[in-house]
Amino acid sequence: MRLSAENLGLERGGRRLFAGLSFTASAGEALVVTGPNGAGKSSLLRAIAGFLPLGEGRVTFEGGELEECVHYLGHADALKSALTARENLDFWAALLGGTPGLVAPALARLGLPHVADFPVRALSAGQKRRVALARLLVAPRPLWLLDEPTTALDVGAQALFGDVMRAHLAQGGVILAATHAPLGLERAREIRLEGARQIAFGDMA
Amino acid sequence: MRALTALYAREWRTARRIGGGASVGAVFFLILVAMMPFALGPDLRLLAKLGPAILWIAALLSTLLGLDRLFQADAEDGSLDLICHASAPLEAIVLVKCAAHWTTSILPLVVAAPLFGLMLAMDGPALGLTTLTLLAGTPALTMIGAIGAALTASLRRGGLLMAVLVLPLAIPVLIFGVAAASAASGGLVPFATPFAVLTGLTLFTLAAAPFACAAAIRGVRE
């Protein structure tokens, strides 16, 4: 399994965000996209997910149909506030091709069993985020595209999610995450979007 | 298939818990019908003659109510993006969402139509035929409305724009629906002809609209 991007370029509203961006990620690898606000981190993830048309370049994914192998976690939690956390996850498990048996372990993994049967509108922002993160576990998919995954999470939950990501990588998954905060992934490579066309590569310490 | 039943269950639960959809649509329908005698006067023969048309116009306007949220709610909370990554095709997902909307919000209107028709002095056969035409024709209104809803999903105030887009497209359904419903109360044509066209329109929109909706959702997202 391998995700590769060649010469990606993207424009939003007539403004060029980046051009000539190439990278590859194989099984077990994590890439972290960093850069100032407005550099195009979210747009890059949305373009790879297929939600935005790519201006230039192409994304190839070896290992299956990209749409059915990818988890996208955006700024919005994609939860129905009238339904309970468990109902939301049951729905996503069925829609994304997971199994119902994974919902309870996913809730437990993210420390949510006690709020599983409350309507999502009664949960705090951090708890909603945890439910959204649990979605990654209810339907096993190899490629995770994470846009600011740790927003609103407390320190404990950030560490917990670090473990979840490391377990996913150990199972041969691929993570592409846009973030400002360190995610606790030791061997992640960095794609730094500098705004005006400059792209740097480096290793995350 | 499991994905689609789960989607139907989610739409059903959301509609039941948030409320508004079924009950507000039915109350709006009731208000529209109840206002007609005030506007037209207490001439029972005139009301009975116009009854099918009044019920159809009221059903058309009530159908539009709430339809603008069909995709907008999912676009706002981020679900619409993820639905595009589902293991089921987007066209089938659109069809299931429309079916759930029809059963939760429109079917109550159809059930209430004969009751409200009594207020327009309509007789038994006219009530029956009007209800039957509404049952056959409202799925077409829902599917046409869904195209407008998909096009305006990402707009904050898309409701009115949706109505402006959709109402002209609903004219053929209205023409044949009212023509078939009026057959019992001395219409110009026998019942079967316009009813067959109406059913045909419904089948055509059921087949074609999911593709139009899916294309609109893929095309307009940011």
Each residue's pLDDT tens digit, B196-208 = 999 999 999 999 9
> Which comes out higher in pLDDT, residue B144 or B154?
B144
B20 touches chain A (CB under 8 A): no
Q: What CA–CA distance (Å, rounded) separates A105 from B113?
A: 48
Alpha helices (H) along chain A = 41-49, 66-69, 85-95, 103-109, 125-138, 155-170
CB contact under 8 Å between A96 and B2, yes or no, is: no
- A63 versus A59: which is more confidently predicted? A59
Q: What is the per-residue pLDDT for A205? A: 43
The answer to whether residue A143 scores a pLDDT higher than 70 is: yes
Give the per-residue pLDDT at B86.
86
Q: Which residues of B touch A80 (CB under 8 A)?
A: 10, 14, 77, 79
Average pLDDT estimate for B80-100 = 91
Stretch A120-148: mean pLDDT, rounded?
A: 90
**Residue B18 β-bridge partners:** none
Give the gap in angstroms from C-alpha A16 to the nearest C-alpha of chain B: 16
ipTM exceeds 0.90: no
Whether A199 shows a pLDDT value over 70: the answer reads no
What pLDDT does A192 receive?
85
* Cβ burial B25-59 (10 Å sphere, 16+ → b, else e): bbebbbebbeebbeeeeeeeeebbbbbbbbbbbbb
Q: What is the DSSP letter of B189?
A: S
In the stretch 53-112 of chain B, residues with CB closer than 8 A to chain A read 76-79, 81-88
Q: What is the mean pLDDT of residues B30-38?
A: 90
pLDDT at B213 over 80: yes
CB A89 within 8 A of CB A138: yes
Cβ-nearest to A95 among B3, B18, B221: B3
Chosen for mutation from B4, B5, B82 (greatest number of chain A CBs closer than 10 Å) is: B82
With CB atoms and an 8 Å threshold, state whether B84 touches A67: yes
Longest dimension (CA), chain B: 57
- Chain A hits for B18, CB-CB cut-off 8 Å, are 82
Q: Which fold has domain A1-63+173-205?
A: Rossmann fold (3.40.50)
The C-alpha atoms of residue B181 and residue A33 are separated, in whole angstroms, by 62
How large is the C-alpha radius of gyration of chain A? 17
**pLDDT tens track for B42-53:** 888 888 888 889
Mean residue pLDDT of chain B comes to: 88
Chain B hits for A97, Cβ within 8 Å: 3, 86-87
Average pLDDT over chain A, rounded to an integer: 86
